[in-house]
Chain A
């Protein structure tokens, strides 16, 4: 189990995350949703160890993450960034092989190569294995980044908006891959998501963030309500049911609540 307890993060004058309490269990998909700039990515970066929280603890399988070495941490938690800039040419195989870094000292072993080949095969990436990563489409790149995180062989997988910039088919493919990975390998995934419908369809639990605080958490049915969405996003929606998942259809924004607040205070 991965647990976040009393987490605070901020820069000099601004607090971005306030007192977050989150648990992530084996075999579940947890979506973090919320408006832009609400701290979703920051939260993931804190858990991955890319940035250090100001206060609070992150426990990974009973061990304090702040006391773990970088490599030990990298063997527990995998991270898929929104995009991966690459200034230099790199083949897809090498890009995925990077995921084996925590296990490599001088050179990748035979086992590392086989693991990567296996993953590429299972994710239907074998045809582009020796292509240049930069020349792939957005959907293929996302899959390769996901494959890298799989190669990292961790129990916890954090993904920062895995479906942004993807077409419908790639959105489905990527989320289905994550879903099947979580169920078959009994790993746990935490997704920062923008698309509320995809999030509620694919996740077991959701956390709705508002201005760095947890507004509401629980099963998609409990979190995705008219009132919650109205007060966090300032958008009127209708919610219907589709195959047992809440389906959200936006109607219109409820006036420029943010600006009004600014002036009144």
Chain B
């Protein structure tokens, strides 16, 4: 009798454990699915463009032949654009997830906190005052500096006033306006060439991106990733409240401080070569969260992949659907993202969804 009960107990224990593992496997499967989708979108993006290099030709150019027009188009024009689109999407989504976690604020994102705008201002400053010396490194560095400035401002407000989510977003919008105005001021005072350069940049364009920019941006986005994953449990705990997190051994101040620094770095990388692209940083984490829940171990990669897919899809659509006209990336991201977000919004019922 006793043994029977023991076995029964073991069976049930096994059961919850198994259920949870199934649950985790499903999350992993979703991430795998996203990788497949991303790969699919990459293939489509590779085969589309102004020139007549088609699906099989571009594929051959990618892996096979080393010369010829197809090779040049694929390696010099299409592939850098694709890689950068993915990087930008991943970066914005990652930064959005991290900002949402450390500020415990579902409305937080690089855009709504004004960090995208300040980072954009940094890039503009580098473009104008860098003169003929401006380089990718200078733009990236300046963008990071101003992104960090805005983030620390937000963090300071959150600390001193123990700010509500609404206060933080209001402060973020104020920062966004401040830096947009400053950027406009610089444009107003700049020469024609400078203005041209800046306007082109502000539209959110991937067309001027080369492998050098990709190198800088990918280093800035990918290096913090292991740290973010290592902290995924601490991010989970922060969502349960500072006090619970502290009681469970999390160094809340440190995580928040370095989380903001890394998220600013990632934001700056995503923005500095391509212009301010809104929405992705806010929406990608939410889409991921709606599907697989709030565990950051899965949430961070999932939202990064969703961000990458969205931006790449948007860019590909923007340059093909109305060719030879190219619709700016920022506009298309909203066109794709908003309806999708509304669809999920209607399906789920939560306070803010």
Beta-carbon contact of B246 and A49 below 8 Å? yes
Q: Given that A79-B244, A130-B20 are contacting pairs, would A89 and B294 also be in contact in the complex, using a CB cutoff of 8 Å?
A: yes
CB of A133, distance to nearest CB on chain B (Å):
9
A72: nearest chain-B partner, CB-CB: B249
A113 at the interface (CB under 8 A from B): yes
A134 and B215 CA atoms in complex are apart in Å by: 43
Are B247 and A113 closer than 8 Å at their CB atoms? no
The winner among A74, A98, A107, A130 for most chain B CB atoms within 10 A is A98
Say if the beta carbon of A50 comes within 8 Å of chain B: yes
B212 at the A interface (CB under 8 A): no
If A73-B249, A78-B247, A120-B16 touch, whether A91 touches B23 (CB-CB below 8 Å) is yes
Q: Once the chains bind, are A129 and B19 in contact (CB under 8 Å)?
A: yes
Measured between alpha carbons, how far is A177 from B13 in the docked complex, in Å?
19
* Chain B residues within 8 Å of A101, by CB: 233-234, 237, 248-250
**Count of inter-chain pairs, beta carbons less than 8 A:** 114
Chain B residue numbers with a CB within 8 Å of A81 are 241, 243-244, 247
Tell me how far the C-beta of A172 lies from the nearest C-beta in chain B, rounded to whole angstroms. Answer: 24
Chain B interface, >50% SS class = helix
Q: In the complex the two chains form, is A117's CB within 8 Å of B20's CB?
A: yes
Query: Is A88 within 8 A of B233, CB to CB?
Result: no
Q: Size range of the interface on B?
A: 35 or more
Q: What is the 8 Å Cβ interface bit string for chain B, positions 4-32, against chain A (1 contact, 0 not)?
A: 00000100111111011101000000000
Residue among B105, B234, B294, B350 facing the most chain A CB atoms (10 A cut-off):
B294
Contact B239 A114 (CB under 8 A): no
Q: Does B341 contact A (CB under 8 A)?
A: no
Is B200 engaged at the interface, CB distance under 8 Å to the other chain?
A: no
A75 to B249, CA, bound (A): 8
Which single member of B20, B105, B295 contacts A87 (CB below 8 Å)?
B105
Residues of A within 8 A of B239 (CB): 86-88, 90
| A: number of interface residues (CB 8 Å) | 44
* CB of B240 within 8 Å of the partner chain: yes
Given the known interface contacts A87-B239, A89-B294, A91-B293, the answer about A99 and B21 at a Cβ–Cβ threshold of 8 Å is: no
Is B184 an interface residue, CB under 8 A from the partner?
A: no
Tell me whether A48 is interfacial, beta carbon within 8 Å.
yes
Task: Decide if B251 is an interface residue (CB 8 Å cutoff).
Answer: yes
Cβ of A71 < 8 Å from any Cβ of B?
yes
User: Taking the complex as formed, is A236 at the interface, i.e. its CB lies under 8 A from any CB of chain B?
Assistant: no
A124–chain B nearest beta-carbon distance, Å: 11
B289 touches A104 (CB 8 A): no
Q: How far is the CB of A144 from chain B (nearest CB, A)?
A: 11
Are A117 and B17 closer than 8 Å at their CB atoms?
yes
Residues of A within 8 A of B21 (CB): 113
Q: Any chain A CB within 8 A of the CB of B106?
A: yes
State how many angstroms separate the Cβ of A120 from the closest Cβ of chain B: 6
Contacts of B23 in A (CB 8 A): 91, 93, 130
Question: Which of B16, B20, B101, B246 interacts with A50 by CB under 8 Å?
Answer: B246
A93-B240 in contact (CB<8A): no
Chain B residues, Cβ within 8 Å of A95:
240
Q: Does A6 contact B (CB under 8 A)?
A: no
| A-B contact sample (17 more), CB < 8 A, given A70-B250, A90-B236, A114-B17 | A79-B247, A81-B247, A87-B165, A89-B293, A90-B240, A94-B295, A98-B244, A99-B248, A101-B233, A101-B250, A104-B233, A106-B229, A106-B230, A120-B16, A121-B12, A129-B19, A134-B350
Interface residues of A (CB under 8 A from B): 45, 48-50, 70-71, 73-75, 77-79, 81, 84-91, 93-95, 98-99, 101-102, 104-107, 113-114, 116-118, 120-121, 126, 129-130, 134, 152
